[in-house]
DNA sequence: GAGTCGAGTCGAATCGATTCGAGCGCGTAG
DNA sequence: CTACGCGCTCGAATCGATTCGACTCGACTC
């Protein structure tokens, strides 16, 4: 492709003894072409090694590239290692692939400036994952370019996007724990702000929350009427931080009987922390997570969690982006989550 | 972008009262343009909301798109959940991002046919990950289009690609185990063929091996002179299969004193299996892995493993692909792996 | 004062397709 | 026999830039 010696449609047309327009028609199938002519064109193409119209030229003419960008905000510095992100990305990739749309992957380090690709990359629409701030410069750049976008884990303030019903999921988990007789419940929160560290926080005065999922889940806590006996914030959604934060909660004098973690990785870490402290799960302490991951290494335990359909979320997001690329509008969708009771929650100890 | 009402360079030129060529020069900076003229052009652009040249048109003219495709073979049905793949992908994304190159992500399900994007997607070069077969139809399609490609985990038979020194890594692990006095060593292998199931295999007659990393690591076993007392094959590189396969090895009458697993996820599963069987690691059985992942959930243990630089591998692959896109050639690179001794290997029991 | 040089600007060709309107035969209806 | 319609093909415009060669004009040299 390019200034190389690859044959063009003009070459094929010349070889077949027809005009370029006819050759084009023969390939695209749009328009009346005699069968004999088409065969001649295809034969000439095969002979010359012409593998089809140059996609760039086609895009230019059509005014569409067929490419959807996925911008991964690296707020967590680990977009690729977080199973939540990769699960969603998988769904996006499947859906776009099936539609014959390209997926331009863009990392946004959030260190320097807006990635060049956001400014200059070829795209008909964009999917924003992991950037919570509505005023993010990446979004400004896209708006300036006139590129429509949808956001994954969209907040209520978004116009278009796909999110999950975080609040309802949390409420379901709280009710589950309450039904088991728990009254001293601690919250193990996802990060509240950029660059915060793992540590205890006051659940009654959290301050502004920079990340949409975190905010949504705390909203669920409030909605459920739960007043946590304590709360800890993990600096990122990884097992290690979950364990560290859970230790802080479990070593307090007024040890909670249940930990409600905002992600399954954090919950997994909490289970490990409990085990290390000689606490039995769930007899001494119950642990609930969020997301619905399978953590095989937790066996024989299985997390109680609120399951979100990651791949489905990705597919819906991709569909929304495709609609935007087509000039259609796309609503704010909120997917349900369902409670899955595992072995890590049980009756509150007497 | 597209047939919308976005301004074009011609509009800007008209508004600034200059020719299109001058306007182009003013933007690209290639060529002499009076400062006053440039300012006028930029002002006109700002006023019209022109955000820079249309990348598609630019690509057409230049004959290059600045896009590298990454084709993820889904042989493991889990390209996105395998940390080896995502780690490499992360490296690729970083390197390409820094070079201002786009990354077109293509999933190859391997079910139906060659993905449309491989046939028609915009790309200057491609990176193939997770497709081991040199005769894969995806590769044929790329060759037909004249798109150069490199392969991740390239085998010795590849012309260009980036791989790691699997064999040396295995040899190092075997020597480490031998140095600890182990003589009854079992191998926990990555899948040998498509659709194989988890189960015991005869280490002396493995048959043809379809996957390059698996083949390379068995080559290391042979090179080390090790004759495994037993071997098991996991159907994929996940904790669950590692555990299942390890059970088969550990429940044999002639229980091995050490298990050499071909991946860390398998090794992690093996540790879990040992613990479940009441065996102490490493007092009763040693376990070694491969890849150098951090498995926080294995704490307080840390795997003995052969560490490969995943991100570095990705970066190098991206660099090779960029070179190919520039028309340069790219050699076959083999990255070293280094032994990391953890807590899961120890002296052989008496 | 004529000639040279160079900075600055412009026109036109080009990249590789798509697509619209026009043209050309040929068969059939009037 | 003329006119019309239809099926097929073609020429040319277009998408939005880049880039080369030519041209203009003022400054400088001899």
Query: HSE-up of A184 (CA within 13 Å, CB side)?
Result: 13
Q: What is the mean pLDDT of residues A122-149?
A: 89
B4, B238, B272: residue with CB nearest A146: B4
Calculate the angstrom distance between C1' of D19 and CA of B21. Answer: 9
Query: HSE-up of B327 (CA within 13 Å, CB side)?
Result: 7
Any idea which fold B67-162+310-333 has? Rossmann fold (3.40.50)
Per-residue pLDDT tens over the stretch A206-258: 999 988 899 999 999 999 999 999 999 999 999 999 999 999 999 999 999 99
Q: Does B116 touch chain A (CB under 8 A)?
A: yes
CATH superfamily of domain region A9-62: lambda repressor-like DNA-binding domains (1.10.260.40)
Chain B residues inside the 8 Å CB shell of A234: none
Residue range(s) of every CATH 1.10.260.40 domain in chain B = 9-61
SS3 label, residue B139: helix
B90: nearest Cα among A129, A114, A107, A236: A107
Phi, psi of B341 (to 5 degrees): -90, 125
SS3 label, residue A205: coil
In eight-state DSSP terms, residue B291 is B
**For helices B166-179 and B212-224, what crossing angle results, to 10°?**
40
List the strands of the sheet with B258-261, edge to edge: B199-201, B230-233, B185-189, B258-261, B286-288
Per-residue pLDDT tens over the stretch B199-227: 999 999 999 998 889 999 999 999 999 99
B81, B90, B122: residue with CB nearest A56: B122
Chain B residues inside the 8 Å CB shell of A107: 90, 93-94, 97
Alpha carbon B73 to chain centroid, angstroms:
10
Calculate the angstrom distance between C1' of D7 and CA of A17. Answer: 19
Residue range(s) of every CATH 3.40.50.2300 domain in chain A = 67-163+310-334, 166-308
Residue range(s) of every CATH 3.40.50.2300 domain in chain B = 67-162+310-333, 166-309
pLDDT score, position B74: 65
pLDDT score, position A324: 95
CB < 7 A contacts with chain C (nucleic strand): A 2-3, 6, 8-10, 20-21, 24-25, 27-28, 30-31, 52-54, 56-58, 60-62; B 17-22, 25, 31-34, 36-37, 57, 60-61, 63
* Residue A1 pLDDT greater than 80, yes or no: no
Lookup: tokens for A209:
């929350």
pLDDT score, position A113: 81
According to DSSP, the residues that pair with A200 across neighbouring strands are A232
pLDDT score, position A154: 79
Query: Domain B166-309 has what CATH class?
Result: alpha beta
Per-residue flag: A3 CB under 7 A of strand D: no
* Residue A109 pLDDT greater than 60, yes or no: yes
Per-residue pLDDT tens over the stretch B240-294: 999 999 999 999 999 999 999 999 999 999 999 999 999 999 999 999 999 999 9
SS3 label, residue B60: helix
Q: Provide the chain A residues 62-91 that lie in CB contact (below 8 A) with chain B.
A: 62-65, 67, 70, 79-81, 83, 86-87, 89-90
C-alpha span between B333 and A4 (Å, rounded): 27
C-alpha span between A198 and A192 (Å, rounded): 10
Contacts of B79 (CB under 8 A, 6+ apart): A90, B72, B73, B85, B107, B129, B130
C-alpha span between B341 and B346 (Å, rounded): 10
Q: Which residue of A has its CA nearest to B113?
A: A98
Q: What is the mean pLDDT of residues B115-135?
A: 88
* Residue B134 pLDDT greater than 70, yes or no: no
Q: Does domain A166-308 have CATH number 3.50.50.60?
A: no
Q: Are B188 and B247 in contact (CB under 8 A)?
A: no
Any idea which fold A67-163+310-334 has? Rossmann fold (3.40.50)
On average, the pLDDT of chain A sits at 92
Q: Which residue of B has its CA nearest to A50?
A: B145
Residue spans of alpha helices (H) in B129-188:
137-145, 166-179
A64-79 per-residue burial string, b: 16 or more CB within 10 A, e: under 16: bbbbbbbbbbbbbeeb
B70, B102, B240: residue with CB nearest A296: B240
* Residue A177 pLDDT greater than 70, yes or no: yes
- The pLDDT confidence band at residue A160, using thresholds 50, 70 and 90, is confident
Architecture of domain B9-61: Orthogonal Bundle (1.10)
Q: Length of chain A, please?
A: 350
DSSP string, B299-315: TT---BEEE--HHHHHH
Residue range(s) of every CATH 1.10.260.40 domain in chain A = 9-62
Q: Using CB atoms within 10 A of its CB, is residue B32 exposed (0-12), middle (13-18) or buried (19+)?
A: exposed
């Amino acid at each position: 492709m390019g200034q190389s010696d690859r044959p063009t449609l003009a070459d094929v047309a010349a070889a077949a003894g027809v005009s370029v327009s006819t050759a084009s028609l023969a390939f695209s199938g749009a328009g009346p072409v005699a069968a004999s002519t088409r065969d001649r064109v295809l034969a000439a193409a095969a002979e010359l090694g012409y593998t089809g119209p140059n996609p760039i030229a086609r895009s230019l003419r059509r005014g569409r590239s067929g490419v959807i960008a996925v911008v991964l905000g690296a707020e967590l510095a680990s977009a690729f290692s977080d199973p939540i992100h990769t699960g969603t990305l998988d769904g996006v990739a499947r859906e776009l692939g099936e539609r014959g749309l390209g997926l331009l992957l863009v990392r946004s380090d959030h260190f320097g400036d807006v990635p060049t690709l956001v400014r200059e990359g070829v795209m008909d629409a964009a999917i924003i994952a992991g950037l919570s701030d509505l005023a993010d410069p990446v979004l400004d750049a896209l708006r300036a370019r006139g590129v429509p976008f949808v956001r994954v884990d969209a907040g209520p303030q978004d116009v278009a996007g796909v999110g999950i019903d975080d609040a309802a999921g949390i409420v379901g988990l709280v009710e589950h724990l309450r039904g088991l007789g728990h009254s001293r419940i601690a919250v193990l929160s996802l990060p509240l702000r950029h660059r915060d560290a793992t540590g205890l926080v006051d659940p009654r005065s959290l301050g502004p929350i920079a990340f949409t999922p975190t905010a949504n889940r705390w909203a669920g806590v409030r909605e459920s009427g739960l007043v946590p006996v304590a709360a800890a914030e993990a600096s990122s959604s990884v097992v290690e931080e979950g364990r560290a934060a859970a230790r802080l909660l479990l070593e307090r004098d007024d040890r909670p009987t249940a930990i409600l973690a905002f992600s399954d990785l954090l919950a997994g870490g909490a289970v490990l922390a409990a085990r290390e402290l000689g606490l039995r799960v769930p007899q001494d302490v119950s642990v609930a997570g969020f997301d619905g991951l399978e953590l095989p290494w937790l066996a024989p335990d299985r997390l109680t969690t609120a399951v979100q359909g990651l791949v489905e979320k990705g597919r819906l997001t991709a569909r929304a982006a495709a609609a935007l690329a087509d000039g259609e509008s796309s609503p704010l969708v909120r997917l349900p989550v369902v409670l899955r009771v595992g072995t890590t929650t049980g009756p509150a100890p007497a």
